[in-house]
Structure 1
């Protein structure tokens, strides 16, 4: 019989909302495998908001300050508060794996080991933990899901109902910003897309819109659970969320919305979101789409994205005006993918890297 653990510490201090969301299936799998365990998650704000109400999580801890060394201190604090008998971490800087292993607990400190270029990051986490005997086979197909408190769900429903009611065409939410310049689709393309969708009868909403000149009606600002509630309300109306490889789009997928992901420097095979959608059914147009710009870029490193020459400063070696990969994603292609994901189109999506719309789609 497989061993169970009573005190579990999961550390994710990579800094992004999306990083935590990709780890969520592993968190839920560990809780399911160890009923009654005290499972703590150590992560950053604001992502911590997404797991505080999660019934699988006993307690959420965060670093106490933002200065250098805060993450290492937070790990030491967590270990002092309650030594774990199982520790799992995505985070390998500042000697954090050594701190965990020094406790004598069972530890998994390298979830990045030998990743295949075409295996999604979250699935890689699950595969490694399964190989370590810490998850069951049923966990291998799990996808990110956020637990929505009733208040957040109700607030999201009120906000979306006030903005779009029960529209005849599904609403579309555009996530126009990204945390890094290298992931941003050209600004003019967003306005073209919004105009085209509006002309076809879709209510168009926006997250991260320019407050002075928004491309669409902005969703009311709130905390992350409320945003997830808004996304759930969009999903209930058959809607779609469109955006780059960024946390809010991953949150939409984890809240059950089909997504159209715009991928440039990151490889959609590793970071794609289509399979995460709660509305997804294999072969269904509502499953969502990951669009890969300039799929054959010679500078893309699927398993070492931070080593790409464009990564930190968005200085593209192929185009001095901006990332050529994102410029390669045409408005017509994104529009067609959005309509199909909303169940409003009939295009057939297939995996491929050739020219044309179908060659740009990766669908789950």
Structure 2
């Protein structure tokens, strides 16, 4: 069967949305004439902008809806029904839900006559699908998400993530290089210390120790993070000897992608910026405690991961009272892995992202007051 109007549902988060982007390539190859749309939350929409396989980004604020639900369940239900009617009016003939929870499943329901999802999705989401396939949980994340298409008889074979960088973002990164007098022959290493899970955070003193070791090798150190991370990042910066460049709160997601594309190594915990760096071809060294690097770490020869030796590892908890597992990853261990990866990726050929294409954006309000 040939589909003409396709909706992908993955509302958040940054890393997960990025892991799902290979779906757009596979669907475009299978249905070259189809209109392909993606419904996503505002915080993740920049991940999709520029994707040449997409025709439309539909923005709907899941977090705002949750606030509404806390105040009035009736209003929240009415909001969802309004969203469903809006999507129904678009006459999608195929909806692919890779968020796999009750709320996205409910959004999927009635949005299209054919609704695809994982048979082992969480929170009763399979109740809303009529085409299903099991999710194979021990595969790397992009391959897991691509697997949903087997319900349509499609074998997606290319798990490479898609995040084209716009020329203006490349120019912004170039200005950073000029401002801080970074030369073409400098070794530039990004240390990204911020994560959304408390349990994924590597201690700031460990980042500082790593920074000092890398500075001894003459590396230029860039620190990245959100505006809310500035106190933490300033603490790291002040503990590293010599010039350290902090970009905390100064880059958009697209600017961060352009910066990562120019660097020689990106060191981070398991978080969205790590996967952005991997998507644009930066060598990455990632640090793991509660999550499994076999599933969540970037795959490929120019990537490496360090897993904590702590016995409590792979717990998948977002918060922890002990908080020892990430601290058990020694800076000297990460430093040695960094040196190996820098040597291995010296003179690398950058991966080729498809050309950036501006994608139409349509916003659907959560609640019309």
**TM-score, normalised by the number of residues in structure 1:** 0.77
Give the C-alpha shift of residue 75 in structure 1. 4.8
- With over 3 angstroms needed to count, the CA separation of the structure-2 counterparts of 1:88 and 1:201, relative to structure 1, is same
Q: Is the 8 A contact 2:201 2:269 kept in 1?
A: yes
Give the C-alpha shift of residue 101 in structure 1. 3.9
* Alignment partner of 1:205 is 2:222: yes
CA distance in structure 2 between the aligned counterparts of 1:256 and 1:112, rounded to whole angstroms = 32
Q: Is the 8 A contact 1:89 1:111 kept in 2?
A: no
Q: Match for residue 82 of structure 1? A: 90
Q: Is the 8 A contact 1:197 1:335 kept in 2?
A: yes
Give the C-alpha shift of residue 46 in structure 1. 2.2
* Alignment partner of 1:133 is 2:152: yes
Give the C-alpha shift of residue 295 in structure 1. 6.7
Q: Match for residue 355 of structure 2? A: none
CA distance in structure 2 between the aligned counterparts of 1:259 and 1:74, rounded to whole angstroms = 43
CA distance in structure 1 between the aligned counterparts of 2:107 and 2:46, rounded to whole angstroms = 26
Give the C-alpha shift of residue 344 in structure 1. 6.6
CA distance in structure 2 between the aligned counterparts of 1:345 and 1:22, rounded to whole angstroms = 23
Mind listing any 5+ residue stretches in structure 1 that lack a counterpart? 306-310, 347-364
Q: Is the 8 A contact 1:40 1:59 kept in 2?
A: yes
- With over 3 angstroms needed to count, the CA separation of the structure-2 counterparts of 1:95 and 1:181, relative to structure 1, is closer
* Alignment partner of 1:142 is 2:159: yes
Q: Match for residue 364 of structure 2? A: none
Mind listing any 5+ residue stretches in structure 2 that lack a counterpart? 70-75, 122-133, 238-243, 347-369
Q: Match for residue 335 of structure 1? A: 335
* Alignment partner of 1:291 is 2:306: yes
Q: Match for residue 118 of structure 2? A: 110
Q: Match for residue 57 of structure 1? A: 54
Higher RCO (C-alpha 8 Å, min separation 6): 2
* Alignment partner of 1:36 is 2:33: yes
- With over 3 angstroms needed to count, the CA separation of the structure-2 counterparts of 1:164 and 1:249, relative to structure 1, is farther
Counterpart among 80, 99, 115 of residue 91 in structure 1: 99
Q: Match for residue 24 of structure 2? A: 27
Q: Is the 8 A contact 1:111 1:125 kept in 2?
A: no
Q: Match for residue 313 of structure 1? A: 319
Q: Match for residue 262 of structure 1? A: 287
CA distance in structure 2 between the aligned counterparts of 1:153 and 1:16, rounded to whole angstroms = 24
Q: Match for residue 261 of structure 2? A: 232
CA distance in structure 1 between the aligned counterparts of 2:119 and 2:43, rounded to whole angstroms = 23
CA distance in structure 1 between the aligned counterparts of 2:82 and 2:287, rounded to whole angstroms = 34
Q: Is the 8 A contact 2:162 2:279 kept in 1?
A: yes
Q: Secondary structure at the match of 1:107?
A: strand
- With over 3 angstroms needed to count, the CA separation of the structure-2 counterparts of 1:127 and 1:164, relative to structure 1, is farther
- With over 3 angstroms needed to count, the CA separation of the structure-2 counterparts of 1:42 and 1:183, relative to structure 1, is same
* Alignment partner of 1:191 is 2:191: no
**TM-score, normalised by the number of residues in structure 2:** 0.76
Q: Secondary structure at the match of 1:132?
A: helix
* Alignment partner of 1:121 is 2:149: no
Q: Secondary structure at the match of 1:342?
A: helix
Aligned residue pairs, count:
311
Q: CA RMSD in A?
A: 2.6
CA distance in structure 1 between the aligned counterparts of 2:325 and 2:174, rounded to whole angstroms = 36
Give the C-alpha shift of residue 255 in structure 1. 1.1
